[in-house]
Structure 1
């Protein structure tokens, strides 16, 4: 699913009005009606009190339509309208309809509601916000954030900028956004403003959507399905690739165990683990399906093997001692197989950045935030961070899987935002599993971009399925591996239902 800028969204609105021969007021009614239907379905209890905060632009006009529809449906509606600029013409039309419907506003009345029965609807500002908030509006938003209510924002949490950092906005529980997800929703600094996001289809012009280029994409189920490679009925282990997992050191063999098992579970036909001798017995006994090669006693001393792997994942639990760095440098000079670089190998690269030029094109790097910072340097904000990652990706022709609460995959100027996963993934070993999954997909002839995007999606989907049975708190990295099969089954079922 494409992610568009505010300017592109406004253009989509204008083209839709023109090509569908409707007015902007018709489009506002259509969008607001989708919000109303969703809210009515979500909160059917007529004892629910809706406190609606409206600005005077198009977002406020949406809020007025929703307020009127809820009032006419028999709900108790408390409506407040605030001066946020010059009233728009569509806003004015809908304010007159509010009066005609007999719904009073700005009455200053208090209200009584049962516990859990207050819903705040935020319709102060939408995608058009470009100026800093006035003190009066900040006080309104502070009041919204202090209410013990479910907060639903229409299109965008008020105060959130789409193209620059935001320091203060409505803390939304649910954002009902129109047609497209917005990049700002998925930036880590904005996590308090966008807890849950629902994209509502309001029927914008499909030709415009299909033909307008974007550099930002949201990996939903549909997109993940297009990248999935089903197992051929006549497949055998020789057709499904041979993944080599390189890593481990004394006390950190578990990282390689997780990666190797994840590679197998992702569908790799064969997996070999390359580890120091200290991990030989534990890996062979815990993962009999994998083959094992060794080098060195407690750390890998050199990297040399006599077969040609389909894909390699390297770095998990590897250590960063000088002899390991030397072995890694020699390895990068000799091997050019499709590769995933993770953990200690990333840190070693950050100390020896000249080695980045040795990596094969489309090598996949999977850093967490601190590893990323060591590679690209500090950033000022999330927008600056993305710019730096894109520059780094283009300079070295690499794919970056930037792990975070929302993981993003960056290849040149293209950014793919993952839709799956949850806080249960905040556990040691989760990244080792991801590296193994992506390497396993590479072995099965996924191209590097698809392996990264689908691998991250599959990893997160496994966690989404798993936490429903065992909770976020109790979820551990090996549980991700356990639920990979269920994730595959869900994907296949959804594809067959289309």
Structure 2
């Protein structure tokens, strides 16, 4: 799914009215009606008090359309106008007149600075936030902030129209008290990037995109900087196997890493590479890990360094397709020298994780030695060592894009919604859960991505697909283990189910099944 920028959303609205020969008011009616349909299908006429707070711009106009439909369908509605400016949009004014023609209970005008004595909201009520939309570019004033805090204090379910009020679509939050904390956001046509960033995701617990009929050609043909990755985006990447294929068709992964006490990292990465579909896997480790690797993973070949405890030289006589390097490797001086010497002669695709990243951070001139489209998979602290500190999530993304372009590498920003960055493009993953916050998860991911590259996936596709499979496997494992008991090995164990799930059809909702009966 494409995630459109603010400017692209405005252009989509404009082209839709032009190409479909409708007015902007008609488009607003369509948007507000879709919000109503969503609520109506869930409430089914229930008389829970609904408080619709409307700003005086187009977001407020959407709210007025919703309120009017709720009223005409017999819901218990109170409508408020958050009136803090003289600049009312044309479509807001049209819908303000329409709602006054619909009911004798006109919207309550909340003039800026007035007290909130007329507002009584119970914990069991519903608040609809339609105050500010994506056009907001400055901090709401103290009075509006107080209103938002009253909503939060009420503990009522809060539904945001398009975006939580006070949340910018394209820059960081200045004051969290100035942002609505929504339980659910109904976003028009596509979600907003801020729903997936660590600092701003907390402002909406859940979201859903509503189709409001934006011009299809525009949606299909417009290139976006951000894409949201789910099953439907990765399924076209999948490479089916032919009947007469053999292990040599699916590449050879070399997992290079390990040190005394950290051979398990190589074990996990090697297992994951096999489970992702690699034809052959070899582990290159210090001597101390030889017996444990051979015993634990009979499917994996093993080459050892001459040193007992650390990697001190990297020499092998095999011809791998891809090398996953860094898991458990350590950062001793001898290992650092071996790593540098390896990079100077290597021409093969690389996936670099963990201490491999830390070694790059210690000597950043090594970054120039990386083959084009090398995959780097840092967690937040490793990323900071690579690109420096950032002021907020938008600054972080800007710096990662610049880093990616400078060194021609793919950077995976690991997190709740891991983001793959290549040049100016961002791919936001949707699978995964908090149970993955456990030792070894990153080693598994290194193995999966390496295994996919070995099978012939381009590094960018392998990263996007690998992150999806990694998260999906963890989601499947969650059903048996829960957040606390999920461990990295479980993610490998359910890789097969993650692949199978790609081809499962969505289950039919129970309501529809009952209606058919």
TM-score, length of structure 2 as denominator length? 0.91
* Counterpart check, 1:443 vs 2:433: no
Distance in 2 separating the partners of 1:176 and 1:394: 34
Q: Please give the residue correspondences for 1:190-339 in structure 2 after superposition, counting only pairs within 5 Å.
A: 190-295=200-305, 296-339=307-350
Superposed CA deviations along residues 185-236 of structure 1, whole A, max 9, x for unmatched, are 2221112113222111111112222333322222232221122222333322
Deviation at residue 53 of structure 1 after TM alignment: 1.6
Partner of 1:472, secondary structure, is helix
In the alignment, structure 2 segments of 5+ residues that lack a partner are 110-116, 509-517
Counterparts of 1:40 and 1:450, CA distance in 2: 40
1:160 correspondence with 2:167: yes
CA deviations on 1:72-120 (whole Å, 9 max, x unpaired) are 333322322201432222212222232233244329656686x7x4322
For 2:22, the equivalent position in structure 1 comes to: 22
Structure 2 CA distance, aligned partners of 1:220 and 1:382? 22
| Residues 148/461 of structure 1: CA separation in 2 closer, same or farther (3 Å cut) | same
TM-superposed deviation, 1:54: 1.3
Q: In the alignment, what sits opposite 2:399?
A: 388
Residue 139 of structure 1: CA displacement? 0.8
* Alignment map for 1:361-400 (pairs within 5 Å): 361-400=372-411
Distance of 2:440 and 2:36 partners within structure 1: 43
Change (3 A) 1:118 1:284: farther
SS in 2 for 1:217: strand
Q: Which moved more, 1:469-478 or 1:373-382?
A: 469-478
Q: Is the 8 A contact 2:284 2:303 kept in 1?
A: yes
Q: CA deviation at 1:356?
A: 0.8
Q: For 2:128, what is the secondary structure of its paired residue?
A: strand
CA distance in 1, matches of 2:160, 2:476: 27
Task: Figure out how many residues of one structure are paired with residues of the other and give that number.
Answer: 494
Question: In the alignment, is the contact (CA less than 8 A) between 2:45 and 2:74 conserved in 1?
Answer: no
Q: Structure 1 residues 306 and 5, CA, compared in 2 at 3 Å: closer, same or farther? A: same
Give 1:468 shift. Answer: 3.3
| Cα distance in 2 for residues equivalent to 1:362 and 1:466 | 31
The answer (yes or no) to whether the contact 1:57–1:84 under 8 Å persists in 2 is no
Q: CA RMSD in A?
A: 1.9
Q: 1:180: how far off?
A: 2.0
TM-superposed deviation, 1:474: 2.2
* Post-superposition CA distance 1:3-50 (Å, at most 9, x none): 222121111101100100111111111112222222223444714332
Equivalent position of 1:454 in the other structure: 465
More displaced, 79-88 or 299-308? 79-88
Partner of 2:198: 188
Q: Secondary structure at the match of 1:195?
A: strand
Give yes or no for the alignment of 1:118 onto 2:125: yes
2:184 paired residue number: 174
1:377-434 CA-to-partner distances (Å, cap 9, x unmatched) read 1112211111111111111111101112221111111111112222222222111111
CA distance in 1, matches of 2:73, 2:495: 45
Distance 1:285 1:161, change over 3 A: same
Give the CA deviation at 1:61. Answer: 1.1
Matched with 1:150 is 157
User: In structure 1, the residue corresponding to 2:53 is in which secondary structure?
Assistant: strand
1:209/1:110 CA distance change after superposition, 3 Å: closer
Q: CA deviation at 1:266?
A: 0.8
Q: In terms of mean alpha carbon deviation, does 366-375 or 470-479 score higher?
A: 470-479
TM-score using structure 1 length: 0.95
Structure 1 CA distance, aligned partners of 2:268 and 2:70? 52
In the TM superposition, what is the alpha-carbon distance from 1:145 to its structure 2 partner? 1.9
- Deviation of residue 152 (structure 1)? 1.4
Distance 2:84 2:295 in 1: 67
Cross-structure match for 2:140 = 133
Q: Distance in 2 between matches of 1:372 and 1:327?
A: 23
Provide the residue aligned with 1:105 in structure 2: 107
